[in-house]
Amino acid sequence: MKIIYSDDYDLNLGNHVFPSIKYRLIKERLLRDGVARAEDLVEPEPASDDDVALVHDRDYIRKLQTGKLSYLEIMRLEIPYSRELIRAVWLSAGGSILAGRLALADGAAVNLGGGFHHAYPDHGEGFCVLNDVAIAIRALQKDKTIQRAMTVDVDVHQGNGTAAIFGGDPSVFTLSIHQLNNYPHPKPPSSLDINLPDGVDDDGYLAVLGEGLEKSLAEFQPELLLYVAGADPYREDQLGGLRLTVEGLEKRDRLVFEQARAKKIPVAVTLAGGYARHVEDTVTIHSNTVRVAKEFAR
């Protein structure tokens, strides 16, 4: 299985709650544990501006590339603007497009970056600048590689940008399972929103996720599943209020892949959020996701 990674995925945020150093740490863990070999790693190309413009307004793209965001627009991002940031998010979008193509060939592929599901066509927010998952879907649809796609977003925060982008589009089904009493506010409707109360544990989470997946896949038959595999439902996450364990999160990943395999649906993974008090826990959760994905690749 191919794993898409670039050293330039690091958003260079310094001492920030978003530990963007995690991308390098995950790569190193995968290599050290033998989950990946150096030859399994694929360097992405940045997404083309034309592909980015399939989702994002040209004026927003221009402001990002020329550093013309307003103070309020940068505040909404909640991360500092830099040239390194712009390179990282263009690379992440290219990585998610590539993960989709490789998943269609191999059954599964993982982009160690991406999952920036709070980005809207005309603005970014919540640490998300470009919606790489939406860009990947639109790029694959544009060249007729696929017609129908599903997003399964298990980040603790609802994928509001993704929901807004695909709202009313019958070719894309969006499923989001998230903590209700958490960012973002408001939450535009996904095709299926599973709104969880605070403090849900492994058993409660896995039960409702399994039901939601089964219902969604019975209703909608995608050619590709985009799995937004956030680590932040973890019980020690600084920005979450759910109570999942490391073991429960691995069972979550396995559940998604088992249901996709039963329907013969390829899965492209992006790792999305993770803000554990100890970054090593976030690295472990994300690394487990990659290991499970590898088990289900052809």
Cα–Cα distance for residue pair 161/159, rounded to 1 Å: 6
Assess contact for 199 and 244: CB atoms under 8 A: no
Start-to-end CA span in the chain (Å): 8
pLDDT tens-digit readout, 187-210:
999 999 999 999 999 999 999 999
pLDDT for the residue numbered 74: 97
Query: What's the predicted TM-score (pTM) here?
Result: 0.98
What percent of the chain stands above pLDDT 70?
100
Q: Does domain 3-296 have CATH number 3.40.50.10310?
A: no
Please, where are the H alpha helices in the chain?
22-32, 49-52, 58-66, 71-77, 83-106, 132-142, 160-166, 202-219, 246-262, 279-296
6 has pLDDT over 90? yes
Q: Give domain limits for the chain.
A: 3-296
Assess contact for 288 and 253: CB atoms under 8 A: yes
pLDDT for the residue numbered 251: 98
Q: Which two tokens stand for residue 286?
A: 């994300």
pLDDT tens-digit readout, 96-141:
999 999 999 999 999 999 999 999 999 999 999 999 999 999 999 9
Cα–Cα distance for residue pair 47/91, rounded to 1 Å: 6
Contacts of 82 (CB under 8 A, 6+ apart): 12
**Confidence label for 11 from pLDDT (cuts 50, 70 and 90):** confident
What DSSP element (H or E) covers 196?
A: strand 192-196
